[in-house]
Structure formats: C-alpha cells, structure tokens
Amino acid sequence: MTTFAPPTPRTPAVPADLRRASLSRRRRLTDAVAKAAIWLALIVAVVPLALVTYYVILKGSGVMSWAFLTEPIPRSLRREGPGMGPAIIGTIVITGSAALIAIPLGVLGAIYLNEYGKQSPLARTIRTMSDVMTGVPSIVMGLFIYVGFVLLVHEQSGFAGALALACLMLPVVIRTSEEMLRLVPDELRQASMALGARKWRTTVSIVIPAALSGITSGALLAIARAAGETAPIVLVVGLTYKTNWSLFGGNTALPAQIFANASQPFEASVNRAWGAALTLVVIVLITTLIGRFIANRFAIKER
Amino acid sequence: MTQTTERPSGGLTQRGRGAGADRAFWIACLLAGILVLAILALILITTLREAWPALTYSGLDFITSDHWVTNDPDGDGPRQPEFGALAFIYGTLTVSAISLVVAVPVSIGIALFLTELAPRRLRSAVVTVIDLLAAVPSVVFGLWGIIVVAPALVKVYRWVHDTFGGVPGVGSIFGEPVSSGRSFMTAGLIVAIMIIPIVTSITREVFATVPESEKHAALALGATRWEMIKGAVFPHSFGGMVGAVMLGLGRALGETIAVALTIGAATQITPNIFASGNAMPAVIVQQWGESGGVHTAALVGLGVVLFAVTVVVNYLARFVVRRAEIRMKGIAA
C-alpha cells in the first residue's frame, strides 16, 4: 500500500459564488453582445422573407382574378389587363413531365445506391457526383439541354424544358430517396427474403412501400424547387402567348413570364409579373406544404 | 425423403423463374445510377464542343480581356466582334463575395441560435422560416429586388457614398451610386438572402455533431454561453463551416435570374460596388434571345467556365464537409 501525504487542510468551505453577477463585467458584456448578435442574425433572415411575402401578396392580389388565371397573355406589354393562363398551364405541363421523368429514374438510382451498390467504389462515386450535380447551376442545365436537344430537333419546346428540369431534379430525388430507403429496417428485407422473395420483389413490394411517404415528400420538395426554376425555361422553352397543352411546340411558364415582364418599363407588364409571382409562390408553397405534411404524418420512425 | 416426380427440385438457390427479372431490375437500377455520371460527362462534352468556335476565336482573351463586343461594330470594317469575359468573371466574383460577407455571419448566427440558444418552441418556427426562404423561387426575389429593393437602396448607397466616399482606400469601393440602384451591391444582397438557407442548414448539421460532453464541460468550468460556443463549438466545427461556406459560394456563383434582374447589365470592371456590372450566368440569360453564331458559342463558353468552377467548388466543399464529419464522429465515438 502506498502511503499518502496527509491531506492539506482545505480552504474553509465557502460555497463558490456561481451567480452571474460574479462574472467579470467584460465577460458578461461579451456574452450579451454575442447573444444580441445571434438574435440580430435571426431578424436579418426573417425581415426579407416577410417583406417579399408582403409585396408579393400586396401587388399580386391587385391583379389577381379568375380571368388572370385563365385568359391568354396579352401580346402588347403595355396593355392593361389580365392573362397568365398559358403560363400556368405551361408550368404544370412542364414541371409535371419533368417529375414523371426524374422521379422513377431517381428512385431507381437510389435503389441502386442503397440496395445494390452500398459502399462499392461506383456507388460512392455516384453519391458524390449527385451531390456535386445538385450544385450545378440551373442555367448550365439549360445550356446543356439546348445544345444536346434543342439544337438537334431545331425547336424550342415544353419537352426540352421538362428535360432540363428533370436533370435538376434527378440528383435531389436520388439523395432524398436514398436517405429514406436507408431508414427501412433490415428485418423487413430479411423477412421477405426468408419467405423466398427475390431481391427485386423484396425491393418493389416491401422496401419501397415502407419508404414511400419519405420518397413522396422528397419528390414533392424537388418538384416545388423545379417549378420555380427560370433560367433553363428561358433558354429552351421560349415564350408564347397561347395555351399549349402539348409537350411539343412553343410553350411558356410562370417564372419565364415573371422574368420577361419584370424588367419592362410598363406598369401593366410589371403588374402581371407580380400576379404571376403570387401564382407561382402559391403553387410552390402548396407543393412544399403537402410534402412536409406527408413527411411528418407518415414518417418512418427512426430506430 | 420420398422422390416426388411432379415437383421440380425446389432448391433455395435455383436459377429459375424470376432470375431474369431480378437481373433486369438490377441493370435498370445500375443504369439509373450511372445516368448521373453520364449527364455530368455529357454536359461537359456537349457544351465544350458547342463553345469551341468561340474559345478558338478568342483564345486566351476569353478570360483575360474585358472587351465584350457582340455585333460587328462597323459592318465589314476592320473591327471584329470580341468576346472577353473578364468583366463578367469579375462581376460574378464580386457579387459572390458580397453575398458571402453578408450571408455567412447571419447563417452562423441562425445555426447557433438553433443549436445552442433557441427555446424548443421557437426552434421549429425558425426552421420553418429558413425552409420557406429556401422555397421562394429566385425569380420572385429578383422581381422584388428590381422593383422594390433597388430603388429603395439608392438613398442608402448615397448616404454611404457621402459618408465614406472620401476615406482613402475604402472610398473607391463606395463610389457614386447608379441612379437605378441596380448594382453589384443590390445583386449581392439578394443572392445573400438566397444562400442563407443552404449555409444555415449545413452549419447547423455541423454544430449538431459537437459532442454534448465538451459543451457541458465548458459550461461546468464556468464558461458563459458565448465562451462555450467559442471554446467548444467553433474549434470542432471549423472544417464543416468552411465546407458550408463553399457550398454557399457554389450557389452564389451560379445564381442567374435574380442577378440578371438586379445587377444592371453593364460591361465594366470597377471597384465601386454601387455601380452596375454584369455576371456570367446573367449575361447568358440576357443575351440569349438575340444571339447567333459565335456569340451564342461564346455564351455557351461562359456556361462551360461556370460549370467547371461550380463543379470544382462543390466537389471540394463536399470533400471538406465529409472529412470534418468523419473526424467529428470519430471523436464523439
């Protein structure tokens, strides 16, 4: 046994002063300033959102009417009056087809990453590259589709716009779906396999349904994002004034109309831009909210 | 076991019915995954091929000259169109720099608020605000910027110019404001609003990986909240914060429509951040409609430069974030 030095007599037990007031003034001040700065940062972010919302609602509601949502777009920028119908239909047609292209491909890609590739070098490369692809500017996607598609078929069309938006959505859908597939418990897969189901059956009828709510909400968020993309639409779709339900032939979309009308010196066209902005924001918000609702309501609980 | 002749031997490893479907499904998934790589490669190849005439036409001038003359200035005369994108590269960098200077402290502040300061009830409200900020399309910010913000900021710019314009050195940054208010500064501020959500969400994830034990230790040693943040949170998350800033930079470099509307479309290199300028993506979208021939090729060339830069920035950013995360989790484990 080792011997210990006799304990030095302790300083009389004065309870440490733990009140804030015991801190030096400098430390208290720095702390207060830092906290104030953090609150300020919050306000800096909230104010623009509030202002944008305020102006979009204020100016947009001025021109909003049933006629605005359905009438064709006036050819003269100067002319007062309604009309964004073709752009609304264009937005729905183009974004909808983009979703039809991107979501199945994205989910398949995610299945590859999570069910087959896992940590293989190829899967890791695809994962990194889809992250990188989410950062590719939308205008570059527009240029790509223009060069790779519009120049080949010699026509700007809604389909070209859908392709560009699909390219933008694809990596987002892949990454969010993969996250969701990862949450599906392995026991489900093992149970299905043990019953003799093949891997594709297991994936299609067990794994996907289990992750469906997450995949849906991720897809809706990607759609909301794509609906607001402007640059690719401006490059590959062009502008028309008539309603076009077809994917082919000239078309138009709300973001492109906002862009075209915003920089005009005419009151009438700027008003239409605000109206279109309000319509677009409402479409985007509804899609986002549905996505969030599904995500919260039907989420798989993380185990 | 009795031999049953009717039934085929049902081994568990049979390569019978369904094996084809299994294989087809695997191939479909693999192809969808590879599609990402294919698209990235195709973007580079097709745009580079299309831009080639302009790149050979201008040579190195494409990135070193600031003369951007799209139409033949005097018909068949001696002067030729020129495509030097330096002014636009400068504009892109200036706008991105301004937006980062504004957005990064704000984003870090919000992320700190969410992870360290916020009462539980307020937290979800703030997350919603950030999500909404990310959901607003950039063209709507652009519309707001050109109609509301730019004219309103002219007065502020003028005041700053009058106050600080005379200071040697800094004065040239705060030069004479352009009367429309459409300037590097306006574009930078609008872009800042748009990159706050992404920088915030990544920094927040990084802050969340700081081990609770270290935070508690700092507080137990008597640190104030701020001292705990400075001593425990920041050193841990430095790498991740750098990555977040780079992701924000990638977004800012490529932002097109809002910049196109608010930057003022002038081809010039000036230190004055209250002057009009232009940026690469904005130029593409502004001049696309009226371009043809080499001009179109030159615009595609701008896209190639943009693509290369953003891919590199994003790749590095992901790399930095991932490395920081791995290091963080290693410590936490």
Residues near B47 by Cβ (< 8 Å), separated by ≥ 6?
A140, A143, A144, A147, B300, B303, B304, B307
Q: List CB contacts (< 8 A) between B152 and chain A.
A: none
Least Cα distance to B27 among A280, A112, A20, A294 occurs for A112
| A45-57 pLDDT, tens digit each | 899 999 999 999 9
- Using alpha carbons, list the distances in angstroms from residue B61 to A274, B87, B301: 41, 12, 12
**What pLDDT sits at residue A303?**
41
Average pLDDT of every residue of chain A = 86
Q: Cβ B37–A129 below 8 Å, yes or no?
A: yes
pLDDT given at position A300? 56
pLDDT in tens, A31-41: 899 999 999 99
Q: How confident is the model at residue A17 (pLDDT cuts 50, 70, 90)?
A: low
Q: Please give the Cα distance from A280 to B138 (Å, whole number).
A: 11
- Identify the pLDDT of residue A8: 60
DSSP tag of B170: G
Summarised one tens digit per residue, pLDDT across range A251-276 is 888 898 899 888 888 888 888 889 99
What's the whole-number mean pLDDT along residues A46-73?
Answer: 88
Q: Is the separation of the CB atoms in B156 and B93 below 8 Å?
A: no
Residues 192-211 of A with CB under 8 A from B: 196, 198-201, 203-204
- Could you tell me which residues come within 8 angstroms of residue B37 by beta carbon, excluding any fewer than 6 positions away? A125, A126, A129
Q: Are B272 and A154 in contact (CB under 8 A)?
A: no
DSSP chain A: -PPPPPPPPPPP-PPP--SGGGS-HHHHHHHHHHHHHHHHHHHHHHHHHHHHHHHHHHHHHHH-SHHHHHSPPPSSTT--S---HHHHHHHHHHHHHHHHHHHHHHHHHHHIIIIIITTSHHHHHHHHHHHHHHTS-HHHHHHHHIIIIIHHHT---HHHHHHHHHHHHHHHHHHHHHHHHHHS-HHHHHHHHHTT--HHHHIIIIIHHHHHHHHHHHHHHHHHHHHT--HHHHHHT---SS---SSSS----HHHHHHHHHT-S-HHHHHHHHHHHHHHHHHHHHHHHHHHHHHHHSPPPP-
Three-state DSSP class for residue B12: coil
Residue A20 scores a pLDDT above 80: no
Which stretches of chain B score pLDDT less than 50? 1-2, 4-5, 332-333
Report which of B264, B31, B267 is spatially closest to residue B157, judged by C-alpha positions: B264
A79 Cβ under 8 Å from any chain B Cβ: no
Q: Is B198 on the interface with A (CB under 8 A)?
A: no
pLDDT of B174: 85
Is the separation of the CB atoms in B137 and A227 below 8 Å?
Answer: yes
Q: Which of A38, A45, A263 sits opposite B130 (nearest CB)?
A: A45
CB contact under 8 A, A55 and B225: no
8 A C-beta contact, residue A115 and residue B33: no
**How many angstroms separate the CA of residue B78 from the nearest CA in chain A?**
31
Residue A246 C-alpha, separation from nearest chain B C-alpha, in angstroms: 23
Closest chain A residue to the Cα of B191, Cα to Cα? A48
Q: Is B318 on the interface with A (CB under 8 A)?
A: yes
Record: contact A136-B307, CB cut-off 8 A: yes
A271-300 pLDDT tens trace: 888 999 999 999 999 998 888 888 877 765
B15 shares contact with chain A (CB less than 8 Å): no
Domains in chain B and their CATH numbers?
A: 82-332 (1.10.3720.10)
- With beta carbons under 8 A apart, name residues in chain B contacting A228: 136-140
Residues 235-264 of A with CB under 8 A from B: 235, 255, 258-259, 262-263
Question: Is residue A34 less than 8 Å (CB to CB) from chain B?
Answer: yes
Q: Using one digit for the tens of pLDDT, what is the confidence trace for A130-184?
A: 999 998 999 999 999 999 998 888 888 889 999 999 999 999 999 999 999 999 9
C-alpha span between B242 and A62 (Å, rounded): 44
Percent of chain A with pLDDT over 90: 44
pTM of the model: 0.86
Question: Please, what is the angle between helix A208-227 and helix A158-183, to 10°?
Answer: 140
Contacts of B306 in chain A (CB under 8 A): 137, 139-140
Q: How far apart are CA A156 and CA A149, in angstroms?
A: 9
Q: Is A126 in the B-facing interface, judged by CB distances under 8 Å?
A: yes
Residue A301 has pLDDT above 60, yes or no: no
Please compute Rg for chain A using Cα positions: 28
A214 touching B, CB under 8 A? no
Q: Do B132 and A49 touch (CB under 8 A)?
A: yes
Give the closest residue to B264 by CA, choosing from B149, B165, B102: B149
Identify the pLDDT of residue B139. Answer: 92
Q: Is B35 on the interface with A (CB under 8 A)?
A: yes
| Average pLDDT of the residues in A98-116 | 94
What angle is formed at CA B253 by the lines to CA B101 and CA B62, rounded to 5 degrees? 125
| Three-class DSSP category at B316 | helix
To which residue do tokens 């951040």 refer? B273
Distance, in Å, from the CA atom of B183 to the CA atom of B162, rounded to the nearest integer, reads 17
3-state secondary structure B258-299: HHHHHCCCCCCCCCCCCCCCCCHHHHHHHHCCCCCCHHHHHH
Place of tokens 């200077």: B101
Q: Which residue has the tokens 């599609």?
A: B35
Q: B46, A141: Cβ pair inside 8 Å?
A: no
Q: What does the alpha-carbon distance between residue A206 and residue B180 come to, in Å, rounded to a whole number?
A: 59
Of B22, B142, B144, the CB nearest to A200: B22
Q: How far apart are the first and last CA of chain B?
A: 53
Interchain pair B311, A111: CB under 8 A? no
For residue B202, the chain A residues in CB contact (below 8 A) are none
Given B46, B193, B285, which is nearest A139 (Cβ)? Answer: B285
Nearest CA to A270 out of A279, A283, A257, A282 is that of A257
The dihedral through the CA atoms of A200, A205, A208, A211 has a sign that is negative
Does A275 contact B at CB distance below 8 Å?
no
> Is B260 in contact with B287 (CB distance < 8 Å)?
no
Where residue A187 falls among pLDDT bands split at 50, 70, 90? very high
The length of chain A is 303
Please list, in sequence order, all residues whose beta carbon lies within 8 angstroms of the beta carbon of residue B232, skipping any fewer than 6 positions away: B210, B214, B215, B217, B218
pLDDT for position B4: 47
Taking residues A87-94, report their average pLDDT.
Answer: 90
Q: Cβ separation of A41 and B108 shorter than 8 Å?
A: yes
What six digits make up the tokens of A222? 């990607």
Question: Which pLDDT does position A6 carry in this prediction?
Answer: 60
Which of B29, B129, B284 to mutate: most A Cβ within 10 Å?
A: B29
